């Protein structure tokens, strides 16, 4: 059984609960890898090191020191906020956003907004697992790539 098929066999769907590991499509140099709180912190630094890029964490509001930019996003049952240090990304830098899972796309979209507020350009969004039936890609300002796509079967 192929690795991806094996991963798929381990997954289970939970209806009504949405509570290439390295940038693969862009020919542009990637300057920054942004990892989302918290599992993006596991993959992001490794990928950043392999690409010779900086790593920037995006955290829940109030968790980072210094001046921060904030973006609010919709969750399944309310709103939440993400922050990034205001000087973490320089204007014109190319950015990849990474996390383990994308469901509705709200947190990924908020991360893209933070990148834009700092003057960066999001080239793509990378995820291990995508709940493709929730159509998160439609909310994002750059292509979405995932290793495993889960349909609503």
Q: Judge if the upstream peptide bond of residue 38 is cis by omega within 30 degrees of 0.
A: yes
Catalytic residue among 67, 74, 76, 113: 76
96: DSSP letter: E
Q: Which helix (H) or strand (E) is 111 found in, with range? A: helix 106-117
User: Of 39, 74, 83, 113, which is the active-site residue?
Assistant: 39
Whether 76 is catalytic is yes
Residue 130 bears catalytic tag: no
Cα–Cα distance list, 94 to 2, 20, 66, 72, 131 (Å): 33, 17, 23, 22, 26
The SS3 of residue 106 is helix
> Which residues does the annotation mark as catalytic?
39, 76
């Amino acid at each position: 059984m192929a690795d991806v098929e094996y991963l798929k066999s381990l997954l289970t769907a939970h209806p009504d609960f949405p509570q290439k590991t390295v940038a693969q499509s862009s020919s542009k140099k990637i300057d920054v890898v942004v990892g989302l709180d918290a599992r993006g912190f596991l993959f992001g630094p490794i990928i950043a090191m392999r690409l010779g890029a900086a790593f920037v964490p995006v955290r829940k509001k109030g968790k980072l020191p210094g001046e921060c930019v904030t973006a609010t996003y919709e969750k399944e049952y309310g709103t939440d906020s993400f922050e990034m240090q205001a000087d973490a990304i320089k204007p014109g830098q190319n950015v990849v956003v990474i996390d383990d899972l994308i469901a509705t796309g709200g947190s990924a979209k908020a991360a893209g907004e933070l990148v834009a507020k700092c003057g960066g350009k999001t080239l793509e969004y990378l995820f291990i697992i995508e709940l493709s039936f929730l159509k998160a890609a439609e909310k994002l300002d750059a292509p979405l790539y995932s290793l495993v796509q889960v349909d609503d079967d």
